[in-house]
């Protein structure tokens, strides 16, 4: 079944139809810049444009950069504060006329990676999936089961939030070399290891496609591997989560 997956990001909102049985896109990937002031109604308008461009009428899965519980969004570090406490599912359902399911964006990407990416071969034990881009998103799996809203990007690492220290945006803002950034990112990984003792780190998001540039600078006792689905994981996982949700309801 083809389901629309939406990935709401700080710089762009991306969507495509996904064959949830294979994890493959079955339409063009549509990307529209995130509104300069990304309040709920403005973002909903962009999602409507994607729905109309793809001539879609079925259920929608939306990955959101923050905590999501029972259809409402409860944090908004990299998007407008008006999302805090907002009934996001009701807004998108009203705007598009489509049944809608929201979840954390890293959770969405992790679901896809564990089913169709490298996680399929490494699902035993504790797996911490990280999306490293504008911020640092995280999804925690134990024996393949997701523990939702495992937001670690804002965890303090030696006096600074993890994503302010070692996101890809931080690398670019501070003009860090890959070696310098690798040192900072290793601090983050070692902190996560100390707190949660994962068996494996999977790195997704923008940096996953550049893993060869920095892998030699990673200093961590836990095995680290790059994700295979790269930036498509959020779209694929959002569609998968929507299908699973509406099958149960």
- pLDDT, tens only, 66-100: 999 999 999 988 899 999 999 999 999 999 999 99
The H or E element spanning position 211 is helix 211-214
Unique residue bearing structure tokens 């009934």: 87
% of the chain surpassing 90 pLDDT: 90
Whether the per-residue pLDDT at 106 is higher than 90: the answer is: yes
Arithmetic mean of pLDDT over the chain: 95
Over residues 4-49, the pLDDT tens digits come to 999 998 889 999 999 999 999 999 999 999 999 999 999 999 999 9
> Parallel, antiparallel, or unpaired for β 12-19 and 156-157?
unpaired
What is this structure's pTM? 0.94
Q: What average pLDDT does the segment 220-241 reach?
A: 94
Alpha-carbon span 141 to 217, nearest angstrom: 26
- The alpha-carbon radius of gyration of the chain (Å, integer) is 17
């Amino acid at each position: 079944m083809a389901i629309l997956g939406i990935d709401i990001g700080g710089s762009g909102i991306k969507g495509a139809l996904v064959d949830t049985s294979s994890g493959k896109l079955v339409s063009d990937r549509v990307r529209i810049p995130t509104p300069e002031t990304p309040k709920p109604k403005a973002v909903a308008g962009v999602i409507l444009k994607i729905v109309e461009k793809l001539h879609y009428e079925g259920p929608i899965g939306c990955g959101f950069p923050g905590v999501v519980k029972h259809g409402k969004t409860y944090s908004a570090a990299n998007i407008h504060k008006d999302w805090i406490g907002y009934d996001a599912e009701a807004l998108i359902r009203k705007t598009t006329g489509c049944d809608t399911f929201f979840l954390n964006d890293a959770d969405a990407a992790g679901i896809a990676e564990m089913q169709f990416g490298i996680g399929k071969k490494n699902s035993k034990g504790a797996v911490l999936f990280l999306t490293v881009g504008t911020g640092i998103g995280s999804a925690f799996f134990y024996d393949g089961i997701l523990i939702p809203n495992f937001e670690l990007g804002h965890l303090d690492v030696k006096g600074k939030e993890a994503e302010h220290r070692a996101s890809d945006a931080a690398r670019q803002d501070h003009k860090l070399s890959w070696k310098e950034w690798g040192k900072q990112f290793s601090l983050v990984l070692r902190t996560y290891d100390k707190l949660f003792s994962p068996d494996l780190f999977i790195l997704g998001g923008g940096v996953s496609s550049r893993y060869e540039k920095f892998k030699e600078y990673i200093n961590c006792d836990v095995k680290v591997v790059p994700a295979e689905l790269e930036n498509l994981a959020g779209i694929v996982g959002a569609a998968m989560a929507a299908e699973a949700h509406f099958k149960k309801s």
